[in-house]
Structure 1
């Protein structure tokens, strides 16, 4: 059985009257190991449960619950997934057990040959992304706030300043790597988008200038 990626909720972020309004994109990965990535705010329980039901999936079916980083709009409903191993940034746990994994050295957390969690810091110091090889969508990277939304490729201010970046140079490095790896990207606050050859060309050129 192969994997497929299903966005349960398209996130958003915008400034209005001086206030940032934001909620994350929530993604279900279906296949041999069911994974939920970024569970929205604590006020979105019903939205999440309705999305799972449309995919004929229950919370108990999920084997891994991933929070790409430690911001509250990405972690609000982790408590629904008590049968799952939780990966929040670089922290891996199940109930009260915490497991050491060397994300900080660049080591992926491999779930199986088609599914892994990789370190992609920059937005925060411990961001991760989920890389999944699918039958019909190619390689999909569920990237959290490594990418705010597709528009931030042409307007870097969206990820550098409006969303905020703890380490812009490092974030740019991993953005380039993910663009070159992926066929599709699920960003932290927008719909999934296709990676174009123009995007890859720009990433390659940027990598050369960074060396």
Structure 2
């Protein structure tokens, strides 16, 4: 089983001088140590220090998984020279690339406790992790499939953060809500999946896009 440690809660929002965001960064400590989403390129020292607090060095990480390829989720990949990379649908180690059919919905199994599944919508190559834990059941680490907990009630939050396909993203959000006991979203703290969230769901419904008529918004890099 794995210990799931949120090293940094993500955030996003508008201030007087512009839009600010950084991703949630999560450590999976277990049979194979895994980092999910590695912040911006300016965060290397604080990420290294956070790992040290858990008695780990960057060389101890076997997998780096980025839920999608935006810069605030991939910035410190360079810190992990011994890790296999999964960035969206792309799997590589050094200069070698591996085939995997994420496009047709195929899950990538890291081990019996951790699997990576395609959850496109925010980008068309987004992935999420499902982690089986002893104390919290199934934890889904979703990147920007979910911006933060509040976007389950207020759909405009995730739609305005950028979605290449709002209907597909909506269906994948519903799928995760049905599976997970807890969700670690892209730009907010971990939250428990309440039964009312599953009832709210999305299923095959077309989400309300009245305030966001285009499926891709201007905030495409978050």
TM range (shorter): over 0.9
Residue in structure 2 matched with residue 135 of structure 1 by the alignment:
134
Which whole-Å CA distance do the structure 2 matches of 1:140 and 1:198 have between them? Answer: 18
Matched, 1:207 2:206: no
Given that 2:115 and 2:130 are in contact with CA atoms closer than 8 Å, whether structure 1 keeps it comes out as: yes
Aligned residues: 206
CA distance in 1 between partners of 2:205 and 2:94 (Å): 45
Counterpart CA distance in 2 for 1:200 and 1:58 is 38
2:87 is aligned to 88
RMSD: 1.1
Q: What SS is found at the alignment partner of 2:31?
A: coil
Counterpart of 2:78 in structure 1 is 79
**For structure 1, which runs of at least 5 residues remain unmatched after alignment?**
none
TM-score (norm 1): 0.95
CA distance in 2, matches of 1:141, 1:208: 21
Looking at secondary structure, tell me which structure has more helix per residue.
1
Partner of 2:64: 65
Q: Is the CA contact 1:4–1:136 (under 8 Å) kept in the aligned structure 2?
A: no
Secondary structure of 2:47 counterpart = helix
2:41 paired with 1:45: no
Q: CA deviation at 1:209?
A: 4.2
User: Scaled by the length of structure 2, what TM-score is found?
Assistant: 0.90
* In the alignment, structure 1 residue 151 sits paired with structure 2 residue 150: yes
Partner of 2:193: 195
Q: CA deviation at 1:122?
A: 0.2
Gaps of 5+ in 2: 207-222
- Give the CA deviation at 1:208: 5.6
Specify the SS of the correspondent of 2:171: helix
